[in-house]
Structure 1
Amino acid sequence: MGSRCLRTLVCGLFFVILANCSKPPRSDRLVLINGPEPESLDPHVITGQPEGRICKAVFEGLTTEDKEGRIVPGIAQEWTTSPDGRIYRFTLRPSSWSDGSPLTAQDFAASWRRALDPQMAAKYADLFYFIENAEAYNRGRLRDFSQVGVHAIDSRTLEVRLIGPTPFFPSLCAQPIFCPVPLAAIQKQGENWIKPGNLIGNGPYLLESWMINDRIILRKNPRYWRADTVRIPWIEALAVTRASAAFNLFASGNADLVLDKGLIPTFFLSELRNQPYFHSAPFLATYFYRINVTAPPLNDPRVRQALSLAIDRARLIRTITRGGELPAHSLTPPGIPGYTPPDGLAFDPARAQALLAQAGFPGGRGFPPFTLLYNSSEQNEQVATEIQALWQRILGISVSLRNQEWKVYLNSVQSLSYEVARSSWVGDYEDPFTFLGCFLRNSGNNNTGWSSDRYEKLLAEATVTLAPEERFALLHKAEAILVKEELPILPIYFYSGIMLYDGSRLGGIAANLLDEHPFREFYFRHPPKPGRPVP
């Protein structure tokens, strides 16, 4: 009775607050909740979505996405493809860096060379591996960059030679690691080049200020090649990790937009669904757990299969996430045209117990305790607590929980300083390879210590296969190895994208499978009065 009364009281307060969400814009700025503090603003270094949003506002590649998630020309005004699909030639439009110096094809070639430099250790460098000799250069087997298939023909023409037909290559060119960076400024400023006052970009916004663990303020770049289409002069991106804090900022009118479902209290989701500020749609993203397979007993596939079979995904979604997610038994979400992911391992406690016994741990006896790592978030904690209880109850395994702030967590995962870790992946383009390529042996995003020769061979064959049906069949076989046999990852659920914003005030946002929402597309439907935010 007491908890029911408390819920009624809280919900009543919720609706009172929500009723006050319609006050007009404060000024000519947009305030959005962006998630954790960015790890960096170097587009060749970043790995997370929060920093990716900022980098895509400050830099622009040969291509970019529109509000629908479609690939459109960026700095390249057009491009052609050879009949065999292996050669792309990009023609750059006249454009400049934010300091006024011209942006050239040579800038792109030199920037890509930096991203591939083995000393950079860029986690997304494998996205370049579709280019001739890019992997060899990145792995240190080739030192002459002129042999890599990237050539500036002249100041406005860039030619790229691929190892095989790659129809999604224009989508890759929109990723932050493909963006040009100001190499002269980097040489002069060193690691400080990304700081306010130093950072030179070529995107729709400039970095005005960066207050660590507080906010990043962006202002419109007057030298952006289509600056006349950027309608919001100032954007504040707040660093917030607690869902309650994020919702309070939105509900009190101190934030205009909440971009991440994880920053919306699940307790209120049933009430929120009926509000005009609630916007939900599926997108290509998967919530999963990584397993460090380099040490026993987690190096045994039977143990990993048992862990997966003991997760009641349907209950977890029903009682915790509550946002319309779907149980995930594969890594690749549904929705990619022409591709059907394999069916992985569904909830089966009896089989889970049998496999654990076969691995030498009947009833969990003798199984060493291990730690489940997650980045600080209310929902991540709730999911981890539920899975901890399932593994204890079904398998008799003792699991402790450990949370870390975003930057520390990323370092732990990348250095394999964990046993089981919460992870997620948002597709960069509409193709299964954007998910499956992460777990190639040399991928900077593998972070499990796992590899499989069969998996490598299937993905290599898919890379040079032109016929879509044959290519997808190869990828399907590879994914079955990942989610049915070996399980270096445990898929848990497919995200349902949720955002909070008042559509009667804020435009330029549309649901799309890639969850891309370019800042340059945003606009206030009713122009606010001019004003300058206080940095």
Structure 2
Amino acid sequence: MYMMKKSVFLALSSVLVFGGMMTGYEGAVQAAEPKVLRMNLHSEPPTADPGIAEDTTSGTIITAIFEGLTRLGKDGKVHPAAAESYTVSKDGKTYTFKIREAKWSNGDPVTANDFEYAWKRALDPKTASNYAYQLYYVKGAEDFNKGIGKAGDVGVKAIDDKTLKVELTNPTPFFPELVAFKTYFPVNKKVVEGNKKWADEAKTVVGNGPFKMETWEHKSNLTVVKNEKYWDKANVKLDKIEFTMIEDENTELSMFDNDELDWAGAPTSALPIDALPALREAGILKTQPIAGTYFYRFNTEQAPFTNAKIRKAFAYAINRESITADILQAGQVPATGFVPPSVALNKDGYFKDNDLEVAKKLLVEGMKEEGISKLPPITLIYNTSEGHKKIAKEIQDQWKKNLGVDIKLENKEWKVYLEDVHQGNYQIARGGWLGDFNDPINFLEMFQEQDGGNNDTRWGNSKYKELLNQSALEQDPEKRKAILMQAEQILMDEMPIMPIYFYTQSWVQNENLKDVVIDGLGAIDFKYADLTKK
């Protein structure tokens, strides 16, 4: 998922508000105080539409107000959600889901048709979903998305209102986990087709999740409240979540310190790097490794990064160890590969960190191949964040010192940044990827297609693509791993992206806040959360 999710940047905070009320007669019992959690989103969610959302900020809101066939529980395991049960054929290629009795937030029944419609809508080339490829496990999905197949040939069909049949191209053991991901969420056809901008305003957003959107003041705040029409409302303990949208991490931490927020930091934002030692010493800093990689993209269609040797020179000429130890200070691991440690294919990586001798040699060779004696002006773009800025300035200094190269830094607001990256309006751009499911393919498949939804490097390689296709057919886990390792080797040999470090998430939270679920991929879910009285 872009961090930007999945490459995405977010922020989270919360506060408990007590509004105790008394009934109007003598001896009345005090009513239960509403449980209101105040959080901070680092930036404006680009959308509330699960079919086109690609970032973690949007994903945080969508996970609260929608629900897929399955949902990850407090135990980290997959549990039935919109589907109350499912069966799998002997060959592992056909899933039949039984849809439970449930309603949309507007009172409409949730049916199997909502899932068939949503998946085919995300795959429709007209929708232009950058996450459509996540549905390619479904038979016929890729051909339809690429305009060479028909919607009717896609292997998802509502047999009746409560039965959804899904045919897969190959056995996919992690499919029950995959359908808990937002691109597989249902949408209400009547709502979607009745208003093209349905996902842009609180009054028109209709979901099927534990919460429903109440207000959305763009670039300011957003609130969700408990959805009384949700099938499992008895297990939803929060009455409301109030999200602010503050980009400054120091302000966010101050609000937490002043008891105005119940949370500061990841996964919806970040803590100020300078504050980490003190928070750690105070014993309140929470940190966990997640399946995610922080990297820089090269636009392989813009000089000088059309040349692989020049890309590798830039990648080899930075000191990741100093970046993680001296700047980040939260247990991040230097990355010399793209696939994170939780699913690593090669735990030793594919190149040497801070390999200056080789970097200088590659830069000379690359420039000679391009017939240039001087590099063109180069700009690195990143989205607004103090952490991104500090990393960019450090790398800027290292490239100047180690390669003699001057780099211009440019900060962009999140939505503008995403648009520029997708349109290729950059030379080097910050990136981040948190897994959507815990398997190496989820990282490597991003670069399978040259014009793929989240590639954005303009890089493609036929052998790389062939290996990923081959891995989908290999049933032996070790053989499959070997195939994927070959693919990652190609990715690192060509270096369309420059890995920098593997993520950890760090945050502080109100000790009275319980059962906020952050999975191993870094996604956050408030369905089970509870706030107890101080």
TM-score calculated relative to the size of structure 2 = 0.91
Question: Where does 1:280-295 land on structure 2 (aligned, <5 Å)?
Answer: 280-295=287-302
Between 258-267 and 300-309, report the one with greater CA deviation.
Answer: 258-267
| 1:253 maps to which of 231, 253, 259 | 259
State how far apart, in whole Å, the 2-side matches of 1:445 and 1:106 are.
28
Shift >6 Å, 4+ stretches: 21-24
The amino acid that maps onto 1:46 is A
- Asked whether the equivalents of residues 316 and 355 of structure 2 are also in contact (C-alpha less than 8 Å), the reply is yes
Q: Residue 155 of structure 2: which of 149, 152, 155 is its match?
A: 149
Q: What is the Cα deviation at residue 510 of structure 1? A: 5.0
1:215 corresponds to: 221
Q: Which residue of 2 aligns with 1:10?
A: none
Specify the SS of the correspondent of 1:335: helix
In the alignment, which of 70, 78, 82 is matched to residue 75 of structure 1? 82
Name the CA distance, whole Å, in 2 between partners of 1:126 and 1:25.
Answer: 42
CA contact (8 A) 2:123 2:144 kept: yes
SS in 1 for 2:169: coil
Q: Is the 8 A contact 1:276 1:502 kept in 2?
A: no
What is the distance in 2 between the residues matched to 1:259 and 1:113? 36
- What secondary structure does 2:367 align onto? coil
**Residues 351 and 92 of structure 1, relative CA distance in 2, 3 Å threshold:** same
Question: Contact 2:14 / 2:260 at 8 angstroms: preserved in 1?
Answer: no
Structure 2: any 5+ residue segments left out of the alignment? 1-12, 20-34
The residue that corresponds to 1:12 in the other structure is none
Look up the SS of the partner of 2:431 in the other structure. Answer: strand
Alignment partner of 1:490 is 2:498: yes
Q: Which of 445, 464, 478 pairs up with 1:469?
A: 478
- The residue number in structure 1 matching 2:274 is 267
Q: Do the aligned partners of 1:243 and 1:378 also contact (CA within 8 Å) in 2?
A: yes
Q: Match for 1:473: what amino acid?
A: A
Say if 2:455 is the partner of 1:446: yes
Match 1:132 to one of 122, 130, 139: 139
Give 3-state SS (helix, strand or coil) of 1:392's partner.
helix
CA distance in 1, matches of 2:517, 2:283: 15
3-state secondary structure, aligned to 2:136: helix
- Give 1:398's aligned amino acid: D
Q: State the Cα distance separating 1:176 from its structure 2 match.
A: 1.1
User: Is 2:127 the partner of 1:120?
Assistant: yes
Aligned to 2:520: 513
| Letter in structure 2 aligned against 1:221 | N
Whole-Å separation in 1 of the counterparts to 2:490 and 2:345: 16
Partner-residue secondary structure (3-state), 2:252: helix
Q: Is the 8 A contact 1:111 1:181 kept in 2?
A: yes
Check the 8 A contact 1:68/1:511 in 2, yes or no: no
Deviates more, 1:377-386 or 1:170-179: 170-179
Residues 132 and 149 of structure 1 are in contact (CA less than 8 Å); yes or no, is this contact kept in structure 2?
Answer: yes
Give the corresponding residue for 1:431: 439
Does structure 1 conserve the Cα–Cα contact (< 8 Å) formed by 2:71 and 2:81?
yes
How many angstroms does 1:263 deviate by?
2.0
Offset, 1:24 = 6.5
For residues 119-518 of structure 1, the aligned pairs below 5 Å read 119-142=126-149, 144-260=150-266, 263-336=270-343, 339-341=345-347, 343-345=349-351, 346-360=353-367, 365-441=373-449, 442-483=451-492, 485-503=493-511, 505-509=512-516, 512-518=519-525
C-alpha distance in 1, partners of 2:354/2:86? 48
Size of the alignment, in residue pairs? 502
Listed as ranges, the gaps of 5+ residues in structure 1 are 1-20, 529-535
Aligned residue type for 2:114: D
Could you tell me how far apart the structure 1 residues matched to 2:430 and 2:15 are?
Answer: 38
RMSD: 1.9
Identity of aligned residues (%): 34
Match of 2:115 in 1: 108
Further displaced range: 510-519 or 75-84: 510-519
Q: 1:286 corresponds to which letter in structure 2? A: T
- C-alpha offsets along residues 337-363 of structure 1, whole Å, 9 cap, x if unaligned? x8445612222111100111111269x
Secondary structure (helix, strand or coil) at the match of 1:360 reads helix
User: What residue in structure 2 maps to residue 4 of structure 1?
Assistant: none
Task: Provide, for residues 307-338 of structure 1, a one-character-per-residue CA deviation record: whole Å limited to 9, x for no partner.
Answer: 111010001112211111000111111013x8
What secondary structure does 2:47 align onto? coil
Give how far 1:189 is off: 2.1
Q: Which amino acid counterpart does residue 234 of structure 2 have in structure 1?
A: D
Distance 2:409 2:210 in 1: 41
| 1:229-285 deviations in Å (ceiling 9; x for gaps) | 000100012212221111111111111112426521111111111334321111111
Q: SS of the counterpart of 1:390?
A: helix
The residue type paired with residue 301 of structure 1 is A
3-state DSSP class of the match of 1:521?
Answer: coil
CA contact 1:34–1:258 (8 Å) conserved in 2: no
Structure 2 CA distance for partners of 1:419 and 1:151, relative to 1, 3 Å:
same
1:25-104 alignment runs, 5 A limit: 25-26=17-18, 28-104=35-111
Q: Which deviates further from its counterpart, 159-168 or 447-456?
A: 159-168
DSSP 3-state at the match of 1:119: helix
CA contact (8 A) 2:471 2:483 kept: yes
1:281/1:511 contact within 8 Å kept:
no
Give the conservation status (yes or no) of the 8 Å contact 1:69–1:516. Answer: no
Deviations 1:113-166 (A, max 9, x none): 111110111000000111111011011111x32211111111111111111111
In structure 2, relative to structure 1, the CA distance for the partners of 1:270 and 1:68 (3 Å cut) is farther
CA contact (8 A) 1:44 1:176 kept: yes
1:473 deviates by 1.1
Amino acid at match of 2:221: R
Residue of structure 2 in register with 1:11 after alignment? none
Contact residue 15 and residue 261 of structure 2 kept, 8 A: no
Structure 2 SS opposite 1:33: strand
- 8 Å Cα contact 2:123/2:145 also seen in 1: yes
The one-letter amino acid paired with 2:423 is S
User: What SS class does the counterpart of residue 287 from structure 1 fall into?
Assistant: strand
| Secondary structure, counterpart of 2:195 in structure 1 | helix
- State how far apart, in whole Å, the 2-side matches of 1:463 and 1:396 are: 44
The answer to whether the 8 Å contact 2:103/2:230 transfers is: yes
CA contact (8 A) 1:151 1:160 kept: yes
